[in-house]
């Protein structure tokens, strides 16, 4: 099984968590899992079998044509995506703290009954 | 200096956002100045854009396919002027309210700056980053007053928005895997070869991106978050959300359909136009009939937004020159009309102390000017001449009849009748009963600065003037979106 299929499977697990769980914290966990699966997806796009880290050392500028390098762009993109994911999670948890202080419950079924 | 104008338009509100946090006294002046500066910057470019030119700016001098560039063409110019115009009015409208602190202006400026970022960027991943930034700020703005309902609405939107943007990012991942670049124009060049070798992946990425944007636009089956989020936010923020933020999703969808997955190249994806029409019809009828049964005024307006999005979708789906002109013109008109309605509603709710439609009785005699503005904007929503809403609905109906979809004309007229029913219900309530002498004085003393009513009504008058002006002289608006329409119709990869 290649890593792209695995990451899509994990994405579906995260989506299932978001859609079907009643607890707000578990929904956020689902969202985090989705985010993690996307990171895995991008990294596996850039992966090359037996590739080297794409770092240029002094004096090696000319001789890179026949070495295999890992694609660095997805890795750079995923650093940004991870940061965004963390800030979304932090905001969601802050909202959850406020909601719990107000309603004393985290269950979405009970929350929808409250006014 | 002159070459750096595209980035200055984004930087100016962003810089002001962080400066606002440092000062207590000058926050309003700073916020207004930065937006005005952006408007000045953009107007220096207007003559070049309107003559059909395109301005490209490479950030840091790095060219595509790896560097990030900003592109201002007819379409992005049109959308960004709506964002800046309504943004300025929203800031003016919030001046008198004391409860809006520095943080509020900080969030507002960041949201405006990131919206312009989404519109200008030519890099799909950069678009995603700006969209996440916009969403983060919008969640915070919805929850700004920290009431229980607002917190729940914000959380629901966060979950839905998070899922939508994850879909979008996964779609971007598929695109990158096929083409090896994220620049919109380079992707569009590479995509036809990728389509021949891996058809399924192209379709998969298109579906993922379209679904993600669909959640953000609140198309019918994915609309669940919108009524709560738009009705629980503070009134100026509701105006911004309904008038502009939803349109950003529409912009991204248009860019994706016309610039990246251009329908000429992929005959399979061209069936997306039929899908757009079907979704538009369902969204239109659903929004209209749900708005009919609402008792909360802001919820009613939120469902009315869903209704109008349906009309825009129908126009986009028809896809002829008339249809696109009508759809884009309706984007502008809806921003103007919804801005007016939410601004008026803010004053009404503060005055009556209730959001219930029935509780507003007597407001019409108390503040006739505001009520007049509300009525004009409602007439625009229904589509009665001489308001701007009539012109764009007329264009879309004409396009539908021309393209042979006579049934669409019937559906739009039917939905207009329902729209009339729910707006006239509100207007009727405004005029029955005696004027109330209730909480006005206490309210003004405590929460508003001196002369606050002037700042609150100024944006309303400006928008209503725009409503009537565009209704009487529609050529003013249509000349602005000519380059955008010709860009969409040309289908050439630049």
Tell me the angle at which helices B184-197 and B148-179 cross, rounded to the nearest 10 degrees: 60
DSSP letters along B374-429, please?
Answer: HHHHHHHHHT-TTSHHHHHHHHHHHHHHHTT-HHHHHHHHHHHHHHHHHHHHHHHH
Query: With bands split at pLDDT 50, 70 and 90, how would you rate the model's confidence at B340?
Result: very high
Question: Is B155 a residue whose pLDDT tops 70?
Answer: yes
pLDDT score, position B263: 59
Question: Is B436 a residue whose pLDDT tops 70?
Answer: no
Query: With bands split at pLDDT 50, 70 and 90, how would you rate the model's confidence at A62?
Result: low
pLDDT score, position A49: 79
**Distance spanning both ends of chain B, measured CA to CA:** 26
Least confident range of B81-95, B266-280, B400-414: B266-280
Residue B58 is classified by DSSP as E
| pLDDT tens readout for residues A78-104 | 999 999 999 999 999 999 999 999 888
Query: With bands split at pLDDT 50, 70 and 90, how would you rate the model's confidence at A64?
Result: low
Question: Is B447 a residue whose pLDDT tops 80?
Answer: no
Among A31, A42, A99, select the one facing B159 at the smallest CB separation: A31
Question: Is A56 a residue whose pLDDT tops 80?
Answer: no
Among A34, A38, A92, select the one facing B155 at the smallest CB separation: A92
Cβ A88–B136 below 8 Å, yes or no? yes
| pLDDT tens readout for residues B348-400 | 888 877 788 888 887 878 888 888 899 999 999 998 888 888 999 999 999 99
Which residue pairs, CB below 8 angstroms and at least 24 apart, start in B367-371?
B369/B457, B369/B461, B370/B344, B370/B457, B370/B460, B371/B344, B371/B430, B371/B431
Q: How high is the mean pLDDT of chain A?
A: 86
Question: Is B323 a residue whose pLDDT tops 80?
Answer: yes
pLDDT score, position A98: 92
To the nearest whole Å, the CA of A102 is away from the closest chain B CA by 7
3-state class of B182 per DSSP?
coil
Average of per-residue pLDDT across B220-241: 89
For B173, name the nearest residue in chain A, comparing CA atoms only. A42
- Higher pLDDT: B13 or B52? It is B13
Query: With bands split at pLDDT 50, 70 and 90, how would you rate the model's confidence at B109?
Result: very high
Which residue pairs, CB below 8 angstroms and at least 24 apart, start in B2-8?
B2/B44, B3/B57, B4/B57, B5/B41, B5/B44, B5/B45, B5/B55, B5/B57, B6/B45, B6/B55, B6/B57, B6/B70, B6/B72, B6/B120, B7/B57, B7/B59, B7/B70, B8/B38, B8/B41
pLDDT score, position B59: 84
Average of per-residue pLDDT across B316-334: 89
| pLDDT tens readout for residues B251-297 | 999 888 888 887 555 666 667 778 888 999 999 999 999 998 888 88
Share of residues in chain B with pLDDT > 90 (%): 38
Average of per-residue pLDDT across B288-313: 91
Chain B residues inside the 8 Å CB shell of A69: none
Q: How high is the mean pLDDT of chain B?
A: 86
Least confident range of A28-42, A62-76, B457-471, B477-491: A62-76
Chain B residues inside the 8 Å CB shell of A103: 148
| Tokens describing residue B454 | 């002037």
Query: With bands split at pLDDT 50, 70 and 90, how would you rate the model's confidence at B329?
Result: very high
Cβ A95–B155 below 8 Å, yes or no? yes
Chain A residues inside the 8 Å CB shell of B125: 77, 80
Query: With bands split at pLDDT 50, 70 and 90, how would you rate the model's confidence at B306?
Result: very high
Query: With bands split at pLDDT 50, 70 and 90, how would you rate the model's confidence at B61?
Result: confident
B162 touching chain A per CB within 8 A: yes
The CB-side HSE value for B186 (13 A sphere, CA atoms) comes to 17
CA-based R_g, chain B, Å: 22
Rounded Cα–Cα distance for residues B250 and B242 (Å): 12
What ipTM is given for this predicted complex? 0.92
B170 touching chain A per CB within 8 A: yes
**Please, what are the domains in chain A?**
3-48+70-113 (1.10.287.3510)
Question: Is B4 a residue whose pLDDT tops 70?
Answer: yes
CA dist list (Å): A112 to B148, B177, B267: 11, 42, 45
pLDDT score, position B48: 85
Question: Is B477 a residue whose pLDDT tops 60?
Answer: yes
Query: With bands split at pLDDT 50, 70 and 90, how would you rate the model's confidence at B418?
Result: very high
pLDDT score, position B384: 87
pLDDT score, position B281: 92
To the nearest whole Å, the CA of A38 is away from the closest chain B CA by 6
Chain A residues inside the 8 Å CB shell of B179: none
Question: Is B445 a residue whose pLDDT tops 50?
Answer: no
Interface test with B, best of A11, A34, A44, A90 (most B CBs within 10 A): A34
Average of per-residue pLDDT across B165-190: 88
pLDDT score, position B14: 92
pLDDT score, position B115: 93
3-state class of B143 per DSSP?
coil
Least confident range of B46-55, B104-113, B118-127: B46-55
Query: With bands split at pLDDT 50, 70 and 90, how would you rate the model's confidence at A114?
Result: confident
Which positions ≥6 away from B121 have C-beta within 8 Å? B68, B69, B70, B71, B127, B130
Cβ A38–B143 below 8 Å, yes or no? no
Question: Is B492 a residue whose pLDDT tops 70?
Answer: no
């Amino acid at each position: 099984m290649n890593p792209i299929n695995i990451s899509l499977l994990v994405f579906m697990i995260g989506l299932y968590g978001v859609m079907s769980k009643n607890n707000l914290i578990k929904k956020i966990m689902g969202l985090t899992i989705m985010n993690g699966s996307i990171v895995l997806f991008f990294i596996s796009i850039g992966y090359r079998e037996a590739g080297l880290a794409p770092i240029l050392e002094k004096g090696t500028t000319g001789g890179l044509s026949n070495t295999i390098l890992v694609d660095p762009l997805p890795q750079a993109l995923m650093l940004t995506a991870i940061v965004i994911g963390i800030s979304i999670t932090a905001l969601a948890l802050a909202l959850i703290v406020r909601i719990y202080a107000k309603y004393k419950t985290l269950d979405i079924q009970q929350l929808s009954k409250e006014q | 200096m002159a070459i750096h104008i595209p980035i200055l338009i984004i930087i100016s509100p962003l810089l002001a956002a962080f400066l606002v946090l440092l000062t207590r006294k000058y926050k309003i002046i700073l916020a207004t100045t930065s937006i005005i500066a952006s408007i000045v910057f953009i107007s220096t470019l207007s003559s070049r854009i309107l003559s059909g030119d395109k301005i490209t700016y490479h950030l840091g001098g790095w060219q595509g396919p790896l560097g990030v560039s900003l592109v201002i063409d007819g379409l992005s110019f049109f959308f960004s002027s709506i964002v800046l115009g309504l943004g300025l009015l929203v800031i003016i409208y919030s001046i008198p309210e004391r409860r809006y602190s520095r943080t509020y202006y900080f969030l507002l400026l960041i949201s405006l700056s990131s919206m312009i970022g989404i519109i200008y960027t030519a890099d799909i991943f950069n678009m995603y980053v700006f969209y996440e930034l916009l969403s983060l700020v919008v969640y915070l703005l919805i929850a700004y007053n920290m009431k229980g309902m607002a917190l729940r609405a914000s959380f629901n939107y966060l979950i839905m928005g998070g899922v939508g943007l994850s879909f979008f990012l996964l779609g971007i991942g598929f695109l990158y895997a096929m083409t090896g670049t994220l620049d919109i124009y380079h992707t569009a060049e590479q995509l036809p070869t990728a389509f021949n070798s891996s058809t399924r992946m192209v379709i998969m990425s298109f579906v993922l991106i379209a679904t993600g944007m669909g959640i953000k636009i609140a198309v019918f089956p994915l609309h669940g978050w919108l009524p709560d989020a738009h009705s629980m936010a503070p009134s100026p923020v509701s105006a911004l959300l309904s008038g502009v933020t939803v349109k950003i999703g529409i912009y991204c969808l248009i860019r994706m359909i016309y610039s990246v997955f251009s329908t000429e190249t992929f005959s399979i994806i061209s069936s997306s136009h039929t899908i757009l029409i079907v979704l538009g019809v369902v969204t239109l009828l659903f929004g209209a009939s749900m708005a009919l049964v609402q008792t909360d005024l802001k919820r009613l307006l939120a469902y009315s937004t869903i209704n109008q999005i349906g009309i825009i979708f129908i126009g986009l789906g028809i896809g002829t020159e008339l249809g696109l002109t009508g759809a884009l013109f309706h984007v502008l008109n809806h921003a103007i009309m919804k801005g007016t309605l939410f601004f008026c509603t803010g004053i009404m709710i503060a005055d009556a102390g209730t959001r219930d439609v029935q509780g507003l009785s007597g407001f019409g005699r108390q503040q006739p000017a505001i009520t007049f503005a509300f009525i004009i904007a409602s007439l625009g929503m229904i589509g009665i001449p001489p308001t701007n809403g009539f012109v764009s609905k007329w264009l879309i109906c004409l396009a539908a009849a021309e393209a042979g979809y006579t049934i669409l004309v019937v559906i739009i007229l039917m939905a207009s009748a329902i729209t009339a029913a729910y707006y006239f219900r509100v207007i009727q309530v405004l005029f029955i009963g005696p004027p109330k002498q209730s909480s006005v004085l206490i309210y003004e003393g405590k929460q508003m600065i001196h002369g606050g009513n002037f700042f609150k009504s100024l944006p309303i008058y400006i928008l209503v003037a725009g409503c009537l002006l565009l209704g009487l002289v529609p050529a003013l608006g249509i000349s602005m979106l000519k380059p955008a329409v010709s860009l969409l119709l040309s289908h050439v990869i630049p």
